[in-house]
Chains A and B, each alone.
Chain A
Amino acid sequence: MADRELTMAAAISEAIAQEMENDEKVFVMGEDVAKYGGIFGATGGLLDKFGAERVMDTPISETAFIGAATGAAAEGMRPIVELMFVDFFGVCMDQIYNHMAKNTYMSGGNVNLPVVLTTAIGGGYNDAAQHSQCLYSIFAHIPGLKIVVPSNAYDAKGLMIQAIRDDNPVMYFFHKGIMGLPWMAYFTGSTNHVPEESYTIPFGQAKIVQEGTDVTLVTLSQMVHKSTAAAEKLAQDGISVEIIDLRTLVPLDKDTVLNSVRKTGRLCIADEDYLSFGLSGEIAALVAENFDSVKLNSPVKRLAVPDVPIPYSRPLEQTVIPQVEHIESIVRQMMN
């Protein structure tokens, strides 16, 4: 079926299932991952295929079960463990950043920790300040964690299989608003063609979603689809936008970003995480560090959540989370 389309949720669970078939050391645990299939569908159908020994519902004890994933990985297992919302990392961060991220290094490379930690990110559906954040930059800041943030089903499957086969801890962030859930509006570009066979997408390779000549728009996750919609409108006025989907933050594909900005001479970053001290600043710094080979025709622009908690009220939420019209507007400013 050359035209088979899957939601991102289905693509992720298919990737996990294929790896579980290949390798009996792969197993899944987390809150509501078994009978429910994951609150956002990332583990849908796995319990029926593999049984409760390999798809394990846990108590609401993130420190215990995420720490257990590290402990099981140290013994040669390949756990996939879900933190239901990234916003909940506050109850278990020690196990993530002080142990999962560091034990390989502190052991002088003796201990491998092939853990995939999946987690849901993003707002836009009025879940307010404790259930709408992205926060991937916090984890990208910590040495020892690979950071994967897919934007569509095809990439989600290939990146998940890559993640499961990696011998390092990988954090895999799926945006709720592109999972293709039957109960949440989503961007159609995220549900796309997914081959049935197993395949991988290497980490550290950004994708040029569309080529352009006037402005480089660096983005990721759901914001890719907002960027595409904005670029269509801008094209009607003759503004050519090159959209780069980073796909992974760690490792970061610096070359693709720099080569694009060398070509366009303009850089805009569209991010759903917080503005300050995060992804958008990192990309801007990358370009600034390469001014010997990059010439800008206009100042760098950054679109992100403007350093406020995500408000509940619909009009407020839609104001602070960058939308299609915000992207369109800022790119027009850059061309003036």
Chain B
Amino acid sequence: MEPTKEHLLWMYEQMLVIRNFEETMVNVYLEGKLPPDIQDGLAFDIGSGLVPGEMHLAAGQEPVAVGSCVHLTDNDTITGTHRPHHFAIAKGISLNPLAAEMFGKVTGLGRGKGGHMHLFSLDKKFGCSGIVGAGMPQACGAALAAKKQGKDWVAVTFFGEGAANQGSFHESLNLAAIWNLPVIFICEDNKYAISVTRDESTAIANNADRAVGYGIPGVRVENNDAVEVYDVVGEAVARARRGAGPSLIEVNTDRYLGHFQGDAEAYRPENEVNSLRENDPIDRLQQQLKDGGMSDEEDNQIKERTKAAVQEAYTFARESAYPDASEASLHVFV
């Protein structure tokens, strides 16, 4: 499946937004977490600063999100992972409430009660979870609901290569296969489950091969490339929409940053990330677009636009109010 120029431009712009959003967060996250702003004797304090708590960023993994979401509408459901920003942005969630949720502000997606790992949007049919492998069963449920209502909507569930060793992966693939559910299982192989490498944790080289065990198609995308993801996911989404059932896709992608911010990454070979960045998927798509006629002026406009949108979101998040203490007992019966 070949992308149109419009799709190529959309993917390029979304990747820029994601990269900008994530790299902005790298710095914002550190505000207030380093000496001398924190308790004496600490080098870093995870619970301090504007954005406290864990922070898992997806810089480098943009192709998976944009190459998949380009095929989806607001009627299609996504379940994401603990590293969910790229999916959320590509699914069309507004940057302002997205950023505000990370700051714990009342203007956030979950009024500040979810935080960056727990983002939910009813309008965009988006959910994610801090628990590895947890989204796959719920995506099966969303697909089941679509099927029961006679819709051609699909569900896409993203997970890491580490989650492919969770029971939920195998249970969900089997369930989706026997019920012929419109689910696309997309594995982001970023080669590390925190510090444990894929080779150390997984008995086979290609998780897509596991599809054979459930009688469904399995395809591995060998390059961290938006156009390659576009092609493979496009086929799988079309297949699901026409009622032909689930697919399993694995994408060889790259995590540029630590598992979380503050990760010393002692488990990674030196210069690994530098060499990955030399073959950056955004640069490659930019070149492809330029070869296809995108002018420098058009490129600059896109870059300025995305930068401004991200800046606006962070400003919105900073300036928003925290929820009133009384909000703690709302949205659950007590």
Residues of A within 8 A of B (CB): 27, 53, 56, 58-59, 61, 63-77, 79, 91, 94-95, 98-99, 102-111, 143-144, 146, 168, 250-251
Contacts and interface: CB of A to CB of B under 8 A. Distances in A.
B117 to A, nearest CB: 9
Given A67-B134, A67-B140, A68-B144, A110 B121 contact: yes
Interface stretch (B19-27, B50-58, B200-208, B325-333): B325-333
A164 to B, nearest CB: 16
Given A53-B148, A105-B332, A71 B141 contact: yes
A61 B115 CA distance: 30
B229 to A, nearest CB: 24
A213 B21 CA distance: 68
Given A61-B174, A98-B131, A111-B122, A68 B138 contact: yes
A103 B77 CA distance: 15
A106 B17 CA distance: 25
B167 A27 contact: no
25 contacts: A58-B175, A63-B167, A67-B140, A67-B168, A69-B141, A70-B137, A71-B142, A71-B144, A72-B141, A72-B144, A75-B125, A75-B141, A75-B142, A76-B145, A77-B141, A77-B148, A79-B141, A95-B168, A99-B131, A99-B134, A103-B127, A107-B109, A110-B110, A111-B122, A146-B333
Interface string B93-133: 00000000000000011111111001011100101011100
Contacts of A144: 332
A71 B79 CA distance: 9
Contacts of B331: 104-105, 107-109
Contact of A61 (B108, B129, B134, B175): B175
Contacts of A68: 137-138, 140-141, 144, 175
A154 to B, nearest CB: 25
A67 to B, nearest CB: 2
Contacts of B212: none
Given A99-B129, A99-B138, A64 B168 contact: yes
Nearest to A70: B138
B131 A94 contact: yes
Contacts of B121: 110
Contacts of A107: 109-110, 113-114, 118, 120, 122, 127, 331
B69 to A, nearest CB: 18
Contacts of A98: 129-131, 134
B175 A74 contact: no
B31 interface: no
B120 A67 contact: no
Contacts of B179: 56
A70 B148 CA distance: 15
A68 B125 CA distance: 15
A213 B25 CA distance: 65
A94 B333 CA distance: 20
B23 to A, nearest CB: 26
Interface residues of B, number: 46
Given A64-B137, A71-B139, A109-B111, 13 more contacts: A53-B148, A61-B174, A64-B175, A67-B137, A67-B138, A67-B141, A67-B172, A69-B141, A71-B144, A74-B138, A75-B141, A95-B134, A98-B129
Contact of A106 (B113, B125, B141, B145): B113
Contact of B137 (A27, A66, A105, A143): A66
Nearest to B101: A108
B51 to A, nearest CB: 17
A143 B113 CA distance: 14
Nearest to A144: B332
Contacts of A106: 110, 113-115, 118, 120
Given A111-B120, A111-B127, A74 B142 contact: yes
B171 interface: yes
B175 A59 contact: yes
Interface string B152-177: 00010000000000011001101100
B136 interface: yes
B148 A27 contact: yes
B264 interface: no
B42 interface: no
A61 B171 contact: yes
| 7 cross-chain pairs, A with B, having the tightest CB-CB distances, nearest first | A67-B137, A71-B141, A108-B111, A71-B138, A68-B141, A107-B120, A64-B171
B109 A108 contact: yes
A143 B121 CA distance: 22
A318 to B, nearest CB: 37
A139 B126 CA distance: 27
Given A103-B127, A106-B110, A108-B111, A143 B171 contact: no
